[in-house]
């Protein structure tokens, strides 16, 4: 089946070469980081996690979001999702590849990464995160590949894929829950120390993942002969709608609890993000942009006329996707570290090398996504052909 | 001794025979064996030991000079880099400028409201405004950093000291997020160009690993008191928290003491007389 990926149009190859160039440029910068250490990043003693871990967290959400097509199709036999289920699964694969790369580039001693396996530490949440992320990646590769292969050969998928598919559902919830547990179990970080963190993560994941999937559907319609189906995209849009509303609601719950209880250790972080703290407000414009994007996106999706508008929908989805990225990517990690447990304020901004490496990781993910989507759409074209 | 080492060799060989997959089990078995612990303790009869090490800092006795002296001696003997140090351009050519936000600290001065942010008070006793409060690793009884570490590079010794294996640390910095006292530092770069004079009795670190105060475990093993205690002119005392007769327990009985952010349940082992 892999041979499909090496036959493509001029556009296809230009896109692949563009991605390879970005990857190459980022790799050169990464060599510098590998040789000289994380000093090339904007991270510091006080803000010890930055852009890498932030994007990791966001992309775990995108990966988990894939389950929003798997559940309706496999649990509720929602036939309209038949054509896009594979797209959700392959999106999860690409997102997980990026997640694992972000973890690797964030390590101070990447060559020792396997120590996590050599000295398994069941008290550490990172241990479980490693298990569920790799498990979910493995499941999606196997399921996606086997189901697509069966479709190409016009036979039923092997019987053993069914239990794996059902297993992938709790795994999807699991990856984002455990990722939230990395943060919300830490005693000294008021912003993360909240039981609603995992639900909030899941809500924003179920918005961002399917929103991105809708955008991908538009691209597939434009660049291939395969049509994912407008009705399926409409259903996805409804899922995005309710998920983003849940996310905003959870955020409001957080705001209420923090400000009404008035506990300084919890309040300081949100104040820093929304209004600035002791004269530091680098993230304030970002946070409000993110909130406005998510809120406007939610309104556009609730109103049927706007949701059904074929021209508006991709833009609405882009708004929600970027809004969720700001909320989770920029705010969530920095917000937890500012102010520090000693109430010092050290602000964080990624450096150029850090952004370059981040872009290269994204390029790698998009390369995986392009190849897998090329396979999927081509097979589906052939079968329908 | 002979007999013991042969036995442990046989044990290791036996487990190794099971295969590579058994390596975690092997570590577990060896760290659990009483033989290993005895061998370590037997190395030096003069070694200072405790059931649970603790520290009392008498803030009344700490002046600006003493605090500075303590930080200096601690950082010097433990090869902690000083980013203000002028780099020897011949020995370390092309060393880039240091980012002071990425500095390394084991013990340092903080103002009261930073050391004890949860005790912030509009009408705080005036003398507290200028007092230097020395902060360091609290060697917590329930250490969140130990729990967070995915490789057990940070671990708790039987005597309560929270200590690190710099060679096992993968630099994920989960422990830094977990520590509610900001006691941990990460080597964002090779620290060696910024060490004025390397102390050959203590390892230097490589880039990419986390480090922090080790309560001078290397001193205690030699039967000597931690450097900070020696330099403190009586302001810092270490001892066994679980021994009711120890100096430190006597101090705790006689004085009102506070600990940093006690409400988190980490049970810090560093007490402050205020």
Q: pLDDT for A185-211, tens place per residue?
A: 999 899 999 999 999 999 999 999 999
Whether A120 contacts chain B with CB within 8 A: yes
Q: Do the Cβ atoms of B187 and A188 come within 8 Å?
A: no
Q: Residue B136's CB: how many other CB atoms inside 10 A? A: 22
- Measure A208 CA to nearest chain B CA, in Å: 26
What's the rounded mean pLDDT across residues B259-272? Answer: 96
Nearest to B116 by CA among B238, B251, B249, B274: B274
Q: Inter-chain contact B23–A118, Cβ cutoff 8 Å?
A: yes
Query: Is residue A268 within 8 angstroms of chain B, CB to CB?
Result: no
Answer yes or no: are the C-beta atoms of A351 and A328 closer than 8 Å.
no
pLDDT of B26 higher than 50: no
Taking the CB of residue B201, how many other CB atoms lie within 10 A of it?
A: 11
B51-273 in CATH: which number? 3.30.70.20
**Interchain CB contact of A38 with B (< 8 Å):** yes
CATH number of domain containing A258: 1.20.1630.10
Q: Closest by alpha carbon to A168, among A144, A200, A196, A201?
A: A144
Verify whether the Cβ–Cβ distance A124 to B147 is below 8 Å: yes
Residue B9 pLDDT level (bands cut at 50, 70, 90): low
Q: Which residue of A has its CA nearest to B211?
A: A45
Annotated domain spans of chain B? 1-43, 51-273
Inter-chain CB proximity B27 and A119 less than 8 Å: yes
Contact A316, A210 (CB under 8 A): no
A341 → chain B, closest CA residue? B180
Domain that holds residue A14: 2-384
Instruction: State how far the alpha carbon of A262 is from the alpha carbons of A254, A255, A259, in Å.
Output: 12, 10, 5
Search chain A and give the residue with CA nearest B148: A124
CA distances from A340 to A333, A335, B56, B263 (A): 12, 10, 25, 17
Per-residue pLDDT, A157: 92
The predicted pLDDT at position A61 comes to 95
What was the pLDDT predicted at B128?
83
Q: Does B28 reach chain A within 8 Å, measured CB to CB?
A: no
pLDDT exceeds 90 at position B10? no
pLDDT at A329: 86
Query: Which residues does B190 contact at the CB level (< 8 Å), separation at least 6?
Result: A36, A37, B206, B207
Mean pLDDT, range B185-202, rounded to an integer? 96
Question: Residue A382: what pLDDT?
Answer: 85
Distance CA A145, CA A6 (A): 17
CB pairs under 8 A between A and B: 163
Beta bridge partners of B58: B273
* pLDDT tens figures, B32-61: 444 444 444 456 889 999 999 999 999 999
Q: Could you tell me if A350 and A102 are in contact, meaning their C-beta atoms sit under 8 angstroms apart?
A: no
B117 inside 8 A of chain A by CB: yes
Give just the sign of the alpha carbon dihedral A79, A81, A87, A90: negative
Q: What is chain B's length?
A: 274
Q: What is the pTM of this model?
A: 0.91
pLDDT value of residue B131: 86
Assigned token pair, A13: 């190859």
Q: Under an 8 A CB cutoff, do B168 and A187 touch? A: no
Q: No. of H helices and E strands in chain B? A: 11, 10
Q: Which of B151, B181, B209, B212 to mutate against chain A (most A CBs within 10 Å)?
A: B151
Q: Does A278 touch chain B (CB under 8 A)?
A: no
Segment 322-351 of chain A within 8 Å of chain B by CB: 336-337, 340-344, 346
pLDDT per residue over B227-239, tens digit each? Answer: 999 999 999 999 9
* Chain B residue closest in CA terms to A340: B182
Contact A43 B176 (CB under 8 A): no
Per-residue pLDDT in tens (0 to 9) along chain A, 385 residues: 778 888 888 999 999 999 999 999 999 999 999 999 999 999 999 999 999 999 999 999 999 998 999 999 999 999 999 889 999 999 999 999 999 999 999 999 999 999 999 999 999 999 999 999 999 999 999 999 999 999 999 999 999 999 999 999 999 999 999 999 999 999 989 999 999 999 999 999 999 999 999 999 999 999 998 999 999 999 999 999 999 999 999 999 999 999 999 998 899 999 999 999 999 999 999 999 999 999 999 999 999 999 999 999 999 999 999 999 999 988 999 899 999 999 999 999 999 999 999 999 999 999 999 999 999 999 988 887 6
Nearest by CB to residue B187, choosing from A37, A119, A340, is A37
Is residue B238 packed enough to be buried (19+ CB in 10 Å), middle (13-18) or exposed (0-12)?
Answer: buried
- Tell me the two tokens of residue B100: 């002071």
pLDDT given for residue B175 in this prediction:
97
Vertex A23, ends A21 and A27: CA angle to 5°?
A: 115
B160 Rama class: left (phi>0) / alpha (psi -120 to 50) / beta: left
Per the CB < 8 Å rule, is B144 touching A187?
A: yes
| B264 part of contact set with chain A, CB < 8 Å | yes
Could you tell me which chain A residue has the CA closest to the CA of B120?
Answer: A264
Q: For Cα atoms B260, B62, B64, give the angle at the middle one, nearest 5 degrees.
A: 110
For B164-182, what is the mean pLDDT?
A: 97
User: How confident is residue B8, by pLDDT bands cut at 50, 70 and 90?
Assistant: low
Domains contained in chain A, number: 1
Place of tokens 């809708």: A214
The per-residue pLDDT of chain B, averaged, comes to: 88
């Amino acid at each position: 089946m892999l041979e499909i990926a090496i036959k493509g149009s001029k556009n296809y190859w230009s896109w692949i070469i563009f991605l390879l160039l970005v990857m190459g440029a980022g790799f050169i910068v990464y060599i510098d980081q590998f040789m000289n250490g994380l000093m090339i990043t904007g991270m510091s003693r006080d803000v010890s996690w930055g852009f890498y871990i932030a994007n990791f967290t966001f992309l775990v959400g995108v990966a988990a979001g894939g389950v929003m097509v798997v559940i309706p199709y496999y649990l509720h036999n929602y036939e309209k999702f038949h054509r896009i289920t594979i797209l959700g699964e392959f999106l999860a694969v690409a997102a997980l590849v990026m997640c694992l790369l972000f973890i690797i580039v964030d390590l101070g001693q990447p060559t020792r990464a396997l120590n996590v396996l050599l000295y398994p530490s069941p008290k550490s949440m990172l241990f479980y995160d490693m298990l569920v992320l790799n498990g979910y990646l493995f499941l999606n590769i196997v399921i996606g590949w086997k189901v697509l292969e069966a479709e190409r050969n016009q036979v039923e998928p092997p019987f053993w894929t069914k239990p794996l598919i059902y297993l992938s559902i709790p795994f999807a919830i699991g990856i984002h829950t455990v990722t939230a547990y990395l943060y919300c179990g830490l005693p000294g970080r008021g912003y993360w120390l909240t039981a609603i963190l995992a639900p909030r993560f899941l809500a924003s994941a179920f918005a961002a993942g399917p929103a991105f999937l809708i955008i991908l559907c538009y691209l597939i319609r434009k660049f291939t002969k395969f049509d994912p189906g407008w009705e399926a995209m409409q259903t996805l849009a409804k899922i995005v709608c309710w998920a983003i509303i849940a996310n905003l609601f959870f955020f409001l719950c957080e705001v209420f609890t923090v400000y009404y209880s008035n506990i300084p250790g919890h309040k300081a972080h949100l104040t820093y993000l929304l209004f600035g703290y002791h004269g530091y407000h680098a993230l304030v414009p970002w946070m409000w942009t993110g909130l406005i994007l998510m809120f406007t996106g939610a309104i556009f999706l609730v109103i049927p006329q706007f949701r059904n508008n074929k021209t508006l929908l991709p833009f609405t989805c882009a708004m929600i996707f970027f809004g969720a990225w700001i909320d989770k990517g920029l705010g969530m990690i920095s917000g937890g570290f500012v102010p520090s447990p000693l109430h010092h304020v050290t602000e964080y901004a990624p450096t150029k090398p850090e952004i370059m490496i981040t872009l290269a990781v994204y390029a790698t993910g998009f390369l995986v996504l392009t190849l897998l989507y090329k396979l999927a759409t081509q097979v589906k074209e052939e079968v329908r052909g | 001794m002979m007999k013991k080492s042969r036995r442990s060799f046989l044990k290791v060989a036996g487990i190794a025979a099971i295969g590579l997959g058994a390596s975690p089990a092997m570590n577990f078995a060896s760290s659990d064996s009483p033989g290993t612990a005895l061998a370590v303790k037997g190395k030096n009869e003069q070694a200072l030991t405790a059931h649970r090490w603790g520290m009392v800092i008498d803030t009344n006795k700490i002046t600006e000079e003493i605090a500075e002296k303590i930080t200096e001696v601690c950082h010097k003997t433990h090869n902690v880099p000083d980013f203000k140090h002028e780099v020897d351009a011949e020995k370390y050519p092309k060393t880039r400028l240091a980012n002071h936000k990425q500095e390394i600290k084991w013990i340092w001065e903080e103002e009261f409201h930073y050391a004890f942010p949860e005790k912030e008070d509009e009408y705080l006793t005036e003398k507290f405004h200028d007092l230097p409060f020395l902060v360091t690793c609290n060697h917590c009884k329930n250490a969140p950093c130990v729990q967070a570490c995915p490789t057990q590079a940070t671990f708790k010794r039987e005597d309560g000291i929270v200590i690190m294996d710099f060679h096992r640390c993968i630099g994920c910095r989960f422990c830094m997020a977990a520590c509610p006292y900001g006691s941990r530092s990460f080597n964002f770069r090779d620290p060696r160009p910024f060490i004025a004079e390397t102390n050959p009795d203590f390892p230097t670190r490589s880039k990419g690993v986390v480090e922090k105060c080790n309560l001078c475990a290397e001193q205690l093993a030699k039967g000597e008191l931690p450097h900070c205690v020696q330099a403190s002119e009586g302001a810092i005392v270490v001892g066994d928290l679980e021994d009711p007769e120890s100096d430190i327990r006597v101090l705790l009985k006689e004085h009102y003491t506070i600990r940093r952010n006690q409400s988190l349940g980490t049970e810090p082992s560093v007490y402050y007389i205020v």
